[in-house]
Structure 1
Amino acid sequence: MAAGRRGSPWLSLIAVAFGLFMVGLDGSVVSIANPEIGRDLGASTAELQWVTNSYLLALAAALILGGKLGDRFGRRRYYLIGVAGFTVASVAIGLAGSIEGVIAFRAAQGLFGALLMPNTLGILRAVFPPKKFGMAVGIWAMVSSVSTALGPIVGGLLVQHVNWESVFYINAPIGVIALVFSALVLAESKNSTGRHKFDVAGVLLLAAGLLVLVFGVVKGETWGWTAGSTIGTIVAGLLILALFGWYETRQEHPLLPMRLFRSPALTIGAVITAINFFTLLGSIFYIMLYLQNVRGYTPVMAGVLTLPLSLASVVASPLGAALTDRFGPRLTMPLGMVLQGAASLGLLGLGTDSSYHAMWPSFIGLGLGVGMVMAASSEAIVGNAPIKDAGVAGGLQATMLQIGGALGTSVLISLISSKVGATLAGSLTGAGVPAPMAQGLSEAKDAVSMGVAPVSADMTDAVRAAVVDGAGTAFMNGVHVAALVAAVICFAGAIVAVAGIRRGTPAHQ
């Protein structure tokens, strides 16, 4: 290939899009495959949670390190290592044959994903001129949004018509194409700071803090959010992260330069990224439960019905990038947050038998909000960091995205669960289930929190219908609480963005 093509901005964008697409797709197909993995490998619910959590913990702990390694030793090199490792780990999951093997290789996937993801933005920051960077980020955000939204459809088709292993094997051809194309077109870029010690203590402190924090979040639902173990674990994680922040200010060559946070746009962009994925992943989680378990749609159909969300994010990402280029993140970040907040309020009208007309406007609002915020926050974080710290900034954004997503699914599902526990017996009796039976069935609140009605073969048709009706009502009560909390957090995020980002904040510094 001609030397002139190596380092071409648009070819570089296509190259990193392959890796980004693979990671985004993988993140959301697993939720569809989990029930089948559990049945095939005889896994407990707790073990299935670790299929997701081992990946999440490894990814969150290593993202900023992945960006730093790329900045110092070569972004192309670490992107390629990430793609190769992620591809091999994906195939290994399908071949594992045991739930322990699946969990271990999912953690490996997370570590390689942490080398891949932040360096996608670092590579783009290095090859695109500042005036074109916003549009590149818009397309980056679009690829990320589309791959995440396509996951349930692709996963549903593969699980339904092939097997759960194929959900992971699909990464092999994508990974090979990404490796070959990237090796040909990507130019190496790095910002070496000469001969100095690598910040090993910073790496260990950051990894420990993020591991403890995310572990506390993902276990909060099981332990209870007010339990001493949950609060203690989360506080311990925050204290370790505070110690990390203090330690970094005393280093000549820190892992995460604290000077980055002098930019209000970057700091608020990081917070808004977390809120964005808190709302997106938490909402998609309970929407999928609603469509499949309450309404009875197949996984494929549930994916098709949520297509407006992914299509809207496709439109909103480049639009958000263009608006951010023109007016700065002070307009687009709050606008995206308000759209997501309004979409969440729209879900308050959902019932157990709502028509599709009651759903799609909220799906579109969520997609528009997500795409707009993704473009604006990527621009605010990576665009406001010096080019030498582009990988670290990309790692910071990806870390906030993962923590927000982990909080969203854990907190919103926990809210649904607690509301179901409080209202299930009353909902069942209100639907016509005899009071003694309703009290007995209230023990099945965990199943109802997932949208599953606790019916059994020995029930009469009338009682079965009443149980389905009452359980559906209790689940929707929980969904309404979750949607309201998400809306309030989005509106609070919009206020923070308007108040904190100065008027006329430049898109690049």
Structure 2
Amino acid sequence: MATVSLQSAAGRWVVISSILASAMAFIDGTALNVALPALQRSLHATGADLFWVLNAYMLMLASLILLGGTLGDRLGRRRIFMTGIFIFIIGSAACGLAGTVTWLIIFRMLQGIGGALMIPGSLSLISSSIDEAERGKAIGTWSSATTLVTIGGPILGGALADAGLWRYIFFINIPIGVITLLLLAWKVAEQQEQGGPGKQDFAGAVLIVLGLALLTFGFLRMPLSGFSSLPVYGSIAGGLLLLIAFVMVERRSPCPMLPLYLFNNKIFSGTNLLTFFLYAGLSAAMLFLSLNMVQIQGYTQLESGLSFLPFTILMVFLARLAGSLADKYGPRWFLVIGPFTAGTGMLLLASVGQTSGPASFWTTFLPGIVVLGLGMSLTVAPLTATVMGSVSSHLSGTASGVNNAITRIAGVFAIAVFGALAVLYFSDSVQHSLSQLPLNAAQKQAIIAQTANLGNATVPGNIPPDNKATIIHIYHQHFIQTYARVMGTSGLLGWLGSVMALIFIKSPRAKALG
């Protein structure tokens, strides 16, 4: 398939349209994370509800993004890309209008379906359209520009949330999406592989959706039902069985949504393992960092959003450079050092205890955020270029879909598992602290019931005024301990990603599989 120079008009329009569509999804994610405390208060959501608001989107995205990648390869990358953007716009508008947390979760699933068709299209368009010699630079440009465009995401989300306007986080996607659709229709040529459309693997899509949904439900149900609950174990076991069935179907399907032979390539396997561990840690870390800042440390949501500026500034200035250097010298050491540095940043953040608020940001949270941002800046472009370069161009959509699916599956598991364990640990530790207080069983039970809301836990109305300050202190103390455990484990997952690069990426350049 013919490719074009990054410097040509055609090459620039491909990259610009890919950046705008990706930025739409990134703004939505980064702004929403910061605004979760406001959303929780507005919709009277529990901690488990918050995890579902995040996971409903990522569940559909992770489950269908593989299908989205192969549909793009077979039916036309621009066509599927545009379809995904349109569905994402509709889902975003519906999310902004949702009156209850249940409807918001449902509409987030619609957003996820759109994202599954949209997200792999951005990178597959770049990989199939831009000359191979400039592909790493193009991906680095995409990475830097999307970060620059989304640098306002946390700030915007914080400002809107503080003003009680968190719904506009979803509405902002509408004009961006419309502009992107117009650019794609007028300026970008269709990209489709020879041979036309093939049979789609809908059986595989159904199995992975149901499998991941059951696993997620089981983990998020765990804090309410306990470890020994039959619905919890039944759901987790059913999810695992369906995922095993998914693998078996993929092995036998003539047109699998997940071509298992791709994993015969050690570099492709290793980079996807790295992706899973690193992004599982990152997903949990970013969520709990935002909750800690706003609900415990006294930051406004705008201040919480501003605290991520050092991270995004590093990405803007270093990601493209890292992509260009990886093209020249090979990606291996970028993918060893980058995740290790990111993991170290998360471990530094884990060591932050109770602070005096935003005034102490420079000596508490800033060092960890800078180290985390440096690590991700060294990783993102070389990782993406290595994944895309390990397969031939006619499989670029599928490779992008697999890697994006791994990223989102990592997020689904991290939020479900870490969320469940966080609630359980928070509840158990608070319960131990109540043993010495002069409260009756009903009062203690009411206090423990609030732990389902994590950092948004409030003192029940039946607690004597003399004990309220003590209960608030207990909530804060034990949430910080819970946060430290999550961040520490997230940091270790980053280090594990570094080990994957050390083991699997031996050659300076990936050998394309196709």
**Superposition TM-score, scaled by structure 1 size:** 0.88
Which secondary structure does the structure 2 equivalent of 1:140 belong to?
Answer: helix
Deviation at residue 417 of structure 1 after TM alignment: 2.8
**1:408 maps to what in 2?**
414
Which letter maps to 2:447?
A
> Which of 282, 285, 297 is the equivalent residue of 1:283?
285
Q: What is aligned with 2:447?
A: 444
Amino acid at match of 2:132: P
Structure-2 change in CA distance of 1:36 and 1:318 (3 Å): same
Cα offsets for 1:179-199 (capped at 9, x unmatched): 112222212111143475333
Alignment equivalent of 2:12, drawn from 10, 13, 18: 10
Contact 1:80 1:182 in 2 (8 A): yes
Letter aligned with residue 504 of structure 2: G
The 5 A counterparts of 1:176-325 are: 176-194=178-196, 196-224=198-226, 227=229, 229-325=231-327
Q: Distance in 1 between matches of 2:220 and 2:396?
A: 29
Q: Which runs of 5+ in 2 are unaligned?
A: none
Measured against aligned partners, the alpha-carbon deviations of 1:436-485 in whole angstroms (never above 9, x if no partner) come to 34985575346457234644689788754443333322122212222221
**Which of 379, 392, 396 is matched with 1:390 structurally?**
396
Tell me: CA distance 1:86–1:325, structure 2 relative to 1, closer, same or farther (3 Å).
same
CA distance in 1, matches of 2:446, 2:146: 40
Render the CA deviation track for 1:85-141: whole Å, top value 9, x for unaligned.
211222233345455543333222111111100111110001111221112222333
1:467 corresponding residue in structure 2 = 471
Three-state SS of the structure 2 residue aligned to 1:417 is helix
Measured in 2, the distance between the counterparts of 1:299 and 1:22 equals: 20
Contact 1:125 1:382 in 2 (8 A): yes
- Please show how residues 327-406 of structure 1 align to structure 2 within 5 Å: 327-353=329-355, 355-356=360-361, 357-406=363-412
Q: Which moved more, 1:70-79 or 1:193-202?
A: 193-202
Aligned 8 A contact 2:78 2:190 in 1: yes
Q: 1:479 aligns with which of 477, 483, 495?
A: 483
Aligned mate of 1:156, from 155, 158, 161: 158
Separation of aligned partners in 2, 1:428 and 1:106 = 38
> In the superposition, relative to structure 1, how do residues 377 and 79 fare at CA in structure 2: closer, same or farther (>3 Å)?
same
Deviation at 1:370, TM superposition (A): 2.4
Query: What letter is aligned with 1:482?
Result: V
- Rounded to whole Å, the distance in 1 between the matches of 2:197 and 2:283 is 42
Query: Which amino acid in 2 is paired with 1:389?
Result: L
CA distance in 2, matches of 1:418, 1:411: 11
Return closer, same or farther for 1:342/1:93 CA change in 2, 3 Å cut-off.
closer
* 1:418 correspondence with 2:421: no
Q: Could you list the per-position Cα deviations for residues 368-415 of structure 1 after superposition, in whole angstroms to 9, with x for gaps in the alignment?
A: 222333223212222212111111111111111111112222333334
Contact 1:60 1:211 (8 Å CA) reproduced: no
- 1:78 aligned residue: 80
Q: Which amino acid letter does the alignment assign opposite residue 60 of structure 1? A: A
1:341 deviates by 1.7
Counterpart for residue 499 of structure 1: 503
Give the direction of change, closer, same or farther, for the CA distance of 1:378–1:195 in structure 2 (3 Å limit).
closer
Q: What amino acid is the match of 2:484? A: H
Match of residue 58 from structure 2: 56
1:503–1:39 Cα change, 3 Å: closer
Moved more, 90-99 or 461-470: 461-470
- Distance (Å, rounded) in 2 between the aligned partners of 1:165 and 1:116: 22
Aligned-partner Cα distance in 1 for 2:417–2:14: 37
Give the superposition deviation at 1:245: 2.9
Deviations 1:284-339 (A, max 9, x none): 11111111111111111111122222222333422331332233332112212111
Distance 1:224 1:122 in 2: 43
Q: Equivalent residue of 1:317, what SS? A: helix
**1:88–1:418 CA distance, 2 compared to 1 (3 A):** closer
Bigger drift between 321-330 and 91-100 goes to 91-100
Is 157-166 or 437-446 further displaced after alignment?
437-446
Query: Do the aligned residues in 2 keep the contact of 1:83 with 1:179 (CA within 8 Å)?
Result: yes
Deviation at 1:144, TM superposition (A): 5.0
CA-based RMSD: 3.2
Whether contact under 8 Å (1:315, 1:368) holds in the other structure is: no
- The answer (yes or no) to whether the contact 2:274–2:496 under 8 Å persists in 1 is no
Tell me the secondary structure at the aligned position of residue 455 of structure 2: coil
CA distance in structure 2 between the aligned counterparts of 1:397 and 1:220, rounded to whole angstroms? 29
Which deviates the most, 284-293 or 488-497? 488-497
- Letter of the 1:296 counterpart: G
In 2: Cα distance, 1:416 partner to 1:196 partner: 45
Within a 5 Å distance, the mapping from 1:21-170 to structure 2 comes to: 21-34=23-36, 36-37=38-39, 49-143=51-145, 145=147, 150-161=152-163, 163-170=165-172
Tell me the number of residue pairs that the alignment of Structure 1 and Structure 2 aligns: 503
Distance (Å, rounded) in 2 between the aligned partners of 1:42 and 1:422: 23
Q: Distance in 2 between matches of 1:436 and 1:31?
A: 38
Contact kept in structure 1, 2:335 and 2:379, CA below 8 Å: yes
How far did residue 15 of structure 1 move?
Answer: 0.8
Decide whether the 8 Å contact of 1:310 with 1:367 is kept in 2: yes
Q: Evaluate the alpha carbon distance shift between residue 209 and residue 326 of structure 1 in structure 2; reply closer, same or farther with a 3 A threshold.
A: farther
For residue 195 of structure 2, what is the amino acid of its counterpart? T
Taking the aligned partners of 2:154 and 2:174, their CA distance within structure 1 comes to 19
**Residue 487 of structure 1: how far off its partner (Å):** 2.1
Matched residue SS, 1:8? helix
Distance 2:185 2:196 in 1: 26
**Equivalent residue number for residue 494 of structure 2:** 490
Distance 1:190 1:102, change over 3 A: same
Q: TM-score, normalised by structure 2?
A: 0.87
- The one-letter amino acid of 1:370's match is M
Instruction: Give, as a single letter, the amino acid of the residue that structure 1 aligns with 2:426.
Output: V
Query: Taking every aligned residue pair, what percent have the same amino acid on both sides?
Result: 29
